[in-house]
Amino acid sequence: MNDIILLKLGEIVLKGLNRRSFEQKLTANVRRRLAPIGKFRVYCLQSIIYVEGEDGADMDTAFEALKKVFGVISLTRAAACEKDKDAIAKLAIEYLREDMLRAKSFKVETRRSDKAFPMTSIELSQYVGNALSDAYEDIEVDVHDPELVVHIEVRDLAAYVHAMPVHGAGGLPVGCSGTAVTLLSGGIDSPVSTYMIAKRGVHLIPVHFFSFPYTSQQAKDKVIELGRLLTEYCGKMTMEVVPFTHIQEEIRDKCPEEYFTLIMRRFMMRIAEQIAQRSNAKAIVTGENLGQVASQTMEAMASTQAVIDLPVLQPLIGMDKEEIITIARKIGTFDTSILPYEDCCTVFTPKHPRTRPKLSEVERAESVLDIDALVDEAVKGLEEVELRHE
C-alpha cells in the first residue's frame, strides 16, 4: 500500500499567471523541511503537492513537520492505487479500517480531476460507499452530518483514498514576498509579529539588541531559542546580534531621561536599516502595538520611524494582548517568552517617558550624540547566529 501525504494549496491557486512560481517556491520549501527527516519524493501536479517516502522514511514525523509549512492550507495521509473502481473500493476498505471502526456514520465524497475516468463522481461515491457498508455493517451512511468523510480523488497519475484532512499553516510560501529585517526581543510580541509576516511569504533576518552586562547571557540565549522555535515556520534564519551597550550608556549619560526610550528605538531603526541594506531587505518588522506602552503612541512611533526610509511592517498594531498571547501559545513561543530574563528595552527605563513627543524635541535631545559613529561601531560588532530547527 503506497502511503503518501497530499498537501492542498491555499491562496496560491488564485495567483493566475504567477501561480507556477509560487508552487515551485512551496515545493522547494517542503523539500528543505523534509531533508533532515529522510528521503522523500516531492512533486506538484494540478496544484497538489505529493510527498512520497523512500527507504523507510518517517511519514509520521514528516506529517507533523508539514503542518507548519506556510502555503499549505490542508494536508492528509492518503494511499494510492490504480484508477479502477474495484481497486479503489478495496483500498478504502483496507486503508481506512481504523477510521471506519471508530466512526458511527460516514459518507463518501469523490473529486474526479481525470475526466477520462468512466464513472462520474457521484457514481464512484455510491459504488465505494456500498462496498464500505458491506464491509462494515455497524456503521451507518449519513450524507448530511457524517462522523467520517471518506475522500476519493481520481487524478492524473492514480486514485487516492484518505480520511478528513487537517488544517495546514496557510499563508504564502516563505521567500515569495522578499526579505525583511525583524526586530526580535525576548518578549511575547516580537516572535508573534515575526511569525505573522513570515506567513505572508517573507524571508526574515532577526535582529536582536544585546546590552551585556546589563542584560545577561541567559537573556541572549532566550532570544536565540525563540528564533530557533520560529524556524519551524520561518525556515532557516541568520540572527544578527547587535552590541548595544555603548549606545545605551551614551544615551544615559548625555540625553534627557524622558527621551531615553525614544532615542534608543531611533538607534535600533537606524541599525536595522543598515542591516537591511546589506541584505537587500525591503522592510523592517516590529512587534509594536498601538497604545500598549509609552513608546507605542502614534507620536512616539512616528518619531522612531522618521530616521529611516524603509517601510515598517507592524502586524500587531491593532491587536489586544490576549489575541497576541493566543498566537504565541499556538506557535510555541509563549513559555520561552515569559522566562524572567530582561532584554535591553528594560535598561535605563525613564520614570516619566514622553508619550506625545514632538520630532524636533527628540532630534534636539539626541543631537549631543555622535550618531553615525555609534551606529557604525554597532554594525561592525555584529555577531551572526545561525538558526535552524532541530
Alpha-carbon Rg for the chain in angstroms: 26
* Rounded Cα distance, 176 and 18, in Å: 11
Chain segment 144-176, per-residue pLDDT in tens: 999 999 999 998 889 999 998 999 999 999 999
Chain segment 28-86, per-residue pLDDT in tens: 999 999 999 999 999 998 889 999 998 888 999 999 999 999 999 999 999 999 999 99
- Grid cell digits, residue 103: 466512526
- Grid cell digits, residue 231: 524556524
Identify the band that residue 15 occupies on the pLDDT scale cut at 50, 70 and 90.
confident
| Lowest mean per-residue pLDDT among 31-40, 168-177, 212-221, 341-350 | 341-350
CA 370: distance to chain centroid?
39
Distances in whole angstroms, Cα of residue 202 to Cα of each of 163, 195, 380: 32, 10, 26
